Chain A
Amino acid sequence: MASSAADDSPLAHHSDSDLQGFFVLHKASNRKLEANSGRKTRRKIELSQSFHKSPEKSEAKVTKCYDDQYYEKLRLEALDCVWSKIESTIKDVLRNINVHVFNEIDHWIQQSFESIRLRGTPDLNQATCSYPITTDVISKRLFAGLVFTKNMEFVDDLLTFADLGLHLKSHGRHVANLSSFDFSAKSGIGGCLRRLLRQFLMVSVVEAADVSVLASWYVEQGNNENPVVVIIEDMERCCGPVLSDFIILLSEWVVKIPIIIIMGVATAIDAPRNILSANALQFLSPCKFILGSPAERLDAIIEAVLVKHCSGFTVGHKVATFLRNCFLRQDGTLSSLIRALKLNGSYSNVLRSVRQMAVVQHFSMEPSSFILQELLHEEESQVVFSSAKVRTFMVVLLAILFCIPSYGYKSHGTRNTSYFQKRSSSKDLIFHLIGGTHNKYALLLLSLACYAEDSSLSCAERLVARNVLAETDGETWAHGLSELKRLQKLWSSVVLCLHEAGKCQKISLLDLYTEVLNPDLYNSRDSNHHLLEKGFRKPSGIYRQHHLANCSRVGEKSPRAPLRRHTAQSNANTEKSAKGLNEKAAMLMGSMVRDYLQPIECIPFHEICCFKDLDKLQLVRTVYHFIWYSLALEHGDLINLHDWYQSFKATIRHPSNKGKHKLKQSISPKKRKDLDESQNRNEASVQYPCFYC
């Protein structure tokens, strides 16, 4: 059965992407080391023995599942599956966010094109003649759409502009995407024209890049129905004089070729004024478009990925807080770093990147996370949970139960958790647990699991324990897991309700998310959520919330019928009854929050789908920073992200070139001496790569 699981996945061996390199880099997490150390060799011998000698099927299964490689394969599969799901969700979300603005831009392009055409449609002779066919100032102006990304880090928007290009192309426009690299002082105006021609003409080599070529191409191809759109991705980074020249140059041709420019502006409206010459500004007829701000986009992503659980994967409170802080304080850095690392700039937000990191981390250290995949499958195909396959996994899970502290957490509270964290797995502890337990069944299983693993016990004892484990049916686990899913669904509906209510107060989902994840707040049963209170203050907020409470599927148990009546009233009623309604709604909300807003970390089995180990995450970040820092030393200067990426890619691609080796090469002793004082803090991080590469 286990082997069938392996056969199911064609993705078991995916070695192409950077992903694996990444995985390898962080594979050796502490927990795994802890779990494996000392036992590995012995178990392997055991394994072979059991294969040859033992006819006992269940035992073979169990031992096989213990095999590291098998685990790894399963986990990689799960990672692949979950990540691809997350990724596609994120892509959809971002596309949906932008599609409105894109349509607006397209509409504007059409309008601009029509107004250019009002000035006349030149024929071939006119279009290719060298002298200006009109000297009217207004008709020489170039339509320029300024797309404000509201984000200083332009890297987050590379994909946006590629998408925009595709969107416009699908509407029949001729589109060329230029970036700031094409507007460098070094290559001058020839560089950007060459690049422009290459994209439009599809000719590899244009000897002398001349706009007249574009003109004759445009007229010859009979392209008269559609304008030529030039997208410049990151205006701020362009060389000002070159861009100005480019604009003035195009303005000489605008009647002959209907060119429309779209420029991405990362900062403020002053940017074009600061960069372009007054003369060039004179030739622009600008129009402003605003993309969703990073915070909005982030909210949308959180909603889709983390709150609605598209993949089943979530993060713990600490991690969420960490992510939030990263976003607010250091934002783009991380996004760009990791994004660049992963997939040539196809992901866009800090949270995404970090979480991605979290995902990898999670899958690399949580042995049970492959169950997540099963959860996913279950969701899709509606397979009954206690299928045979799942049962197998249950057994495996049982065997590695000691990795899941929350089970004990639930049944015994904090006291036992600390025991589990120590996990000395000594006999005494086990017996102590069994003796003091109330929930005997669970604890029995638990101890059995530990028992089966404990190498200090005799072989026979272990065998017995394993047999018991194998015979246990997976009912408990199936129940626990489905409960987990149900609670998650309830939780997400409540969170969305709260968000809806908080919209009037401009509470971002990110803040809300980090707050509702806080297990301390929940445990203290202190329903005075700060954000919640804010939401209740305004009547309008309450109305919305109220309404939403009706619409959302807040579990099957919530009393729907009376609520509906309330809504009808609330629409009809005037201000007078608003107060009473507010109170009712507040009560409802309060009870909903009490009953359903259970942070993921308080739900049993959450380790399966929840990543909460902050230290690991920070460790990873330190590794990035080290690479960044060593590069900075190497160049003796600030580095742009592109170089960083190249260097990181090189590191990832050739993990065999030991970090140590590279380190020695890269930092000359003199420089190292210079930076010793300031680098004390980074001493630690210097060592990590040597560890992991």
Chain B
Amino acid sequence: MNQEESPQSTRRTTRSTTSSTPNPKSAAKPTKNSSKPQTLTLENLLFRGKPLGFDELVSSFPGRRSQILELMRLLGTLGSPMIPLFIYGGLSTGKTSVILEIFRHLNRPFVYSSCRTCYNPRILFESILNQLLLHRKSEGNGYSSAKRCERPSDFVNFIRDALVGVVNGLSGKLSSKKLGVRANGRMVYLIIDNLELVREWDKSSSILPFLFELYDVLKMPEVGLIFISGASPDTYYSDTGYTEPIPVYFPDYVEDDLRQIFMRNQSNPKLFSSFLDVVLKPFYRITRRVDELSSAFSSLFKTYCEPLCDLGTVPNEEMKRRLFSHLQPHIAPALNEIFRVPSHPSIGATAKDKAKRKGSAKKLEVSEEFEEIDFHMSTCAKYLLISTFLASRNPATLDASLFDSTGGSDSRKRKRKSSAKSVEKKETAEQELVMKGPGTFPLERLLAIFQCIMSVSEYPLDEEEQGTSELGGESWDSCLMPDVLLQISSLCNANFISKGGSCPLEGSARYRSAVDEDMALKALAIFAIGAFLLGLMKIILMSFTISRAKLNSAVITTRMDFLLSGCLSCQNYKLSLLFAMTSCKQSSVLYTDFKGLKVSMMSEPT
């Protein structure tokens, strides 16, 4: 069908281009703009900029030829009435650009409003009216709109008047204008972009049908309505009896299209092409959005060009290989990265490099050097962070056995009894827990766990300050509650704890830990214990949450006997005991090892 239409539309467009090219629009503009008090003319309803030929139009949108032809066909010849259009497709597929460029090419007057900028009905209505009434907000009019319009019914009245004015202007007076900027035809098109956002507005139930109905309500053949949406028409209510708009779908780009898009305007096409050979395929599997790709590519291309002294060189095979080997280590991290924060160049590139290395290292190995949290957080807050983590990841039923000193032995007995079946059951339950993600807990439970941890850790201070630790201990005890509550609210503010809705039965708010394992592990550094124990705890924490595979790898990298000796040499027996017990509960893999640990620590005479 498209092919059938294309010769016709080409003919038509050639005609319209010829009619639009002689316009001295671009020459007239600068002089006009330099004068300060500007009045808007109908010219403002046209797309400003150089006129655009059809071939140019098609070539500037690789992979969009059929859509452009389809749209041109639907827009029809000059002055022909048009049923509303509904353009839809994924993000960054060229919907807005294509339609705007088509209007630039056709040189027909249009009004554009994005529901993003116009974030409520009133602003949307007023924005459309302002454009039609050739009104501009300025200091002179107190930055107010031409018409105050909040209700759809008002809008219909206002827009009808405004449209009549514009259409009359277009048909009659415009041709006699001195500057002679001439728009084609007497149709006005209303383009409403980002329509999917309207669904989220409060009165969406009335505004959306209203917009779809507008064409029928106005009954003006001179008005063309074009909706642009990121969501397909099925997601809108469409059974209310108005004329259904004609859908035009913009599919995602395919790899070849993307290559063509990225090859546009490249200063050194050969070099960039060799770059695309390397990166486009892996990235294409992840995303097809031009915006995401281009931001990823722009930084990667810089790295790609780093070894080159002259960016104009045409790469040969050998150089390509060299550049590829330079780029290769950067590709995999970039694939996972959506947000990258470089520091200011004056700080120096070394810090950046270091951070990068750290980041890549973190994933691969169970770290020997233990990172601390790199921003200031009081000790109390760190303990709380750990408490929330434990409270969120552990079922409440386990608390007693974990934190009660007598609970350990009970659980061991139970463990012995348990059959293979019950172990299996337990494992599935564990997996379920992992799937569900962090659970919620009431404030009381958090505080209880916090107290337990505090009592276990005995407040490790620097060894040299034994005298002061007494002092601190006192003040700690005496003002525990208010500080803790305050810290909790701070943690909430910093998004480490999310506050859920209140439970209907208990009536009090419930909380949920929003930190991931890495963060909790960093917070663990406050325990000021040897690297062995930290490694141990890392495993334990992993055993709460992370998949078996990761856990196993952690076990392998951190040797058990090493850990054991570390625990024994450490002063915090109770603490390690606590965590060892925790791990016994959580992971049958580690059970035997930690049982040994526990026994040996129990027998230690302290």
Chain A residues within CB distance 8 Å of chain B: 104, 107-108, 123-126, 128-133, 135, 137-138, 140-141, 146, 148-154, 188-190, 197, 201, 203, 206-208, 210-213, 216-217, 220, 234, 236-237, 245, 248-249, 252-253, 266-275, 278-279, 281-282, 284, 286-290, 293-295, 318, 321-322, 325-333, 337, 511, 514, 520, 530, 614, 618, 621-622, 624-625, 628-629, 632, 636-641, 678-679, 681-682
Task: Give chain B residues whose Cβ lies under 8 Å from the Cβ of A273.
Answer: 338-339
B294: CB under 8 A from chain A? yes
**Which of A138, A288, A511, A637 lies in contact with B298, CB distance below 8 A?**
A138
Complex: how many Å from CA A210 to CA B127? 9
**Which of A252, A269, A271, A295 lies in contact with B376, CB distance below 8 A?**
A295
| Inter-chain contact B489/A640, CB cutoff 8 Å | yes
Given contacts A248-B116, A514-B468, 16 further A-B contacts (CB under 8 A): A125-B29, A140-B291, A154-B493, A190-B119, A207-B145, A236-B495, A245-B119, A273-B338, A275-B495, A282-B295, A288-B344, A322-B475, A511-B462, A618-B475, A628-B482, A638-B492
**Which of A138, A201, A624 lies in contact with B143, CB distance below 8 A?**
A201
Task: Give chain A residues whose Cβ lies under 8 Å from the Cβ of B143.
Answer: 197, 201, 203, 206, 213, 216-217
**Which of A268, A293, A622 lies in contact with B479, CB distance below 8 A?**
A622
Top 4 nearest A-B pairs (CB, nearest first) are: A131-B112, A331-B378, A625-B482, A135-B97
Complex: how many Å from CA A679 to CA B478? 11
B483: CB under 8 A from chain A? yes
Q: Which of A248, A267, A641 has the most CB of B within 10 A?
A: A267
Task: Give chain B residues whose Cβ lies under 8 Å from the Cβ of A210.
Answer: 117-118, 123, 126-127, 137
Q: Which of A190, A208, A273, A328 has the most CB of B within 10 A?
A: A208
Complex: how many Å from CA A190 to CA B122? 12
| Inter-chain contact B490/A153, CB cutoff 8 Å | yes
Q: A150-B376, A237-B493, A321-B471 are in contact. Are A135 and B38 (CB under 8 A)?
A: no
| Inter-chain contact A137/B290, CB cutoff 8 Å | yes
Task: Give chain A residues whose Cβ lies under 8 Å from the Cβ of B476.
Answer: 325, 329
| Inter-chain contact A622/B478, CB cutoff 8 Å | yes
| Inter-chain contact B378/A289, CB cutoff 8 Å | no
Residue of B nearest to A132 (CB): B96
B377: CB under 8 A from chain A? yes
Task: Give chain B residues whose Cβ lies under 8 Å from the Cβ of A682.
Answer: 481-482
| Inter-chain contact B292/A282, CB cutoff 8 Å | yes
Task: Give chain B residues whose Cβ lies under 8 Å from the Cβ of A138.
Answer: 294-295, 298
Task: Give chain B residues whose Cβ lies under 8 Å from the Cβ of A284.
Answer: 339
Complex: how many Å from CA A207 to CA B138? 13
Complex: how many Å from CA A679 to CA B381? 21
Q: A150-B376, A208-B122, A249-B116 are in contact. Are A132 and B494 (CB under 8 A)?
A: no
| Inter-chain contact B100/A131, CB cutoff 8 Å | yes
| Inter-chain contact B117/A128, CB cutoff 8 Å | no
Task: Give chain A residues whose Cβ lies under 8 Å from the Cβ of B390.
Answer: none
| Inter-chain contact B378/A329, CB cutoff 8 Å | yes
Interface size on B, as a range, is 35 or more
CB distance from A631 to the nearest CB of B (A): 10
Instruction: Enumerate B107-136 residues with CB–CB distance to A below 8 Å.
Output: 111-114, 116-120, 122-123, 126-127, 131, 136
| Inter-chain contact A329/B482, CB cutoff 8 Å | no
Complex: how many Å from CA A104 to CA B379? 32
| Inter-chain contact B117/A207, CB cutoff 8 Å | no
| Inter-chain contact B48/A126, CB cutoff 8 Å | yes
Task: Give chain B residues whose Cβ lies under 8 Å from the Cβ of A135.
Answer: 94, 96-97, 100
Q: A150-B374, A203-B142, A331-B376 are in contact. Are A252 and B471 (CB under 8 A)?
A: no
Residue of A nearest to B378 (CB): A331
B464: CB under 8 A from chain A? yes
B485: CB under 8 A from chain A? yes
Residue of B nearest to A214 (CB): B143
Q: A252-B117, A271-B495, A332-B378 are in contact. Are A625 and B100 (CB under 8 A)?
A: no
Task: Give chain B residues whose Cβ lies under 8 Å from the Cβ of A287.
Answer: 341-344
**Which of B126, B341, B488 lies in contact with A146, CB distance below 8 A?**
B341
What are 12 A-B interface contacts by the 8 Å CB criterion?
A130-B113, A131-B191, A137-B295, A148-B375, A217-B139, A234-B493, A288-B341, A289-B344, A329-B379, A520-B467, A640-B493, A682-B481
B318: CB under 8 A from chain A? no
B395: CB under 8 A from chain A? no
| Inter-chain contact B339/A289, CB cutoff 8 Å | no
Residue of B nearest to A289 (CB): B344
| Inter-chain contact B380/A329, CB cutoff 8 Å | yes
| Inter-chain contact A628/B375, CB cutoff 8 Å | no
Q: A130-B117, A248-B116, A286-B339 are in contact. Are A318 and B471 (CB under 8 A)?
A: yes
Instruction: Enumerate B372-397 residues with CB–CB distance to A below 8 Å.
Output: 373-381
Q: A279-B91, A330-B380, A637-B509 are in contact. Are A681 and B480 (CB under 8 A)?
A: yes
Complex: how many Å from CA A640 to CA B492? 10
| Inter-chain contact A530/B464, CB cutoff 8 Å | yes
Q: A132-B100, A207-B144, A331-B376 are in contact. Are A621 and B488 (CB under 8 A)?
A: no
CB distance from A233 to the nearest CB of B (A): 12
| Inter-chain contact B378/A130, CB cutoff 8 Å | no
Complex: how many Å from CA A322 to CA B138? 59
Task: Give chain B residues whose Cβ lies under 8 Å from the Cβ of A614.
Answer: 471
B7: CB under 8 A from chain A? no
CB distance from A199 to the nearest CB of B (A): 14
B44: CB under 8 A from chain A? yes
Complex: how many Å from CA A621 to CA B478? 10
**Which of A133, A141, A149 lies in contact with B295, CB distance below 8 A?**
A141
B78: CB under 8 A from chain A? no
B33: CB under 8 A from chain A? yes
**Which of A108, A188, A275 lies in contact with B344, CB distance below 8 A?**
A108
| Inter-chain contact B378/A638, CB cutoff 8 Å | no
| Inter-chain contact A130/B131, CB cutoff 8 Å | yes
B6: CB under 8 A from chain A? no
CB distance from A81 to the nearest CB of B (A): 30
CB distance from B62 to the nearest CB of A (A): 14
B92: CB under 8 A from chain A? yes
CB distance from A170 to the nearest CB of B (A): 20
Residue of B nearest to A325 (CB): B472
| Inter-chain contact A268/B495, CB cutoff 8 Å | no
Task: Give chain A residues whose Cβ lies under 8 Å from the Cβ of B47.
Answer: 131
Interface string of B493-518 (1 = CB under 8 A from A): 11110010000000011000010000
Residue of A nearest to B381 (CB): A152
CB distance from A517 to the nearest CB of B (A): 11
CB distance from A378 to the nearest CB of B (A): 35
Complex: how many Å from CA A210 to CA B467? 62
Complex: how many Å from CA A125 to CA B480? 62
CB distance from B3 to the nearest CB of A (A): 28
B487: CB under 8 A from chain A? yes
| Inter-chain contact A129/B48, CB cutoff 8 Å | yes
Residue of B nearest to A530 (CB): B464
Residue of A nearest to B291 (CB): A137
Residue of B nearest to A318 (CB): B471
Task: Give chain B residues whose Cβ lies under 8 Å from the Cβ of A236.
Answer: 493-495
Complex: how many Å from CA A636 to CA B112? 50
Q: A108-B344, A130-B112 are in contact. Are A152 and B490 (CB under 8 A)?
A: yes
Q: A275-B495, A321-B468 are in contact. Are A293 and B379 (CB under 8 A)?
A: no
Task: Give chain A residues whose Cβ lies under 8 Å from the Cβ of B341.
Answer: 146, 269, 272, 286-288
Residue of A nearest to B502 (CB): A637
| Inter-chain contact A294/B376, CB cutoff 8 Å | yes
Complex: how many Å from CA A530 to CA B466? 13
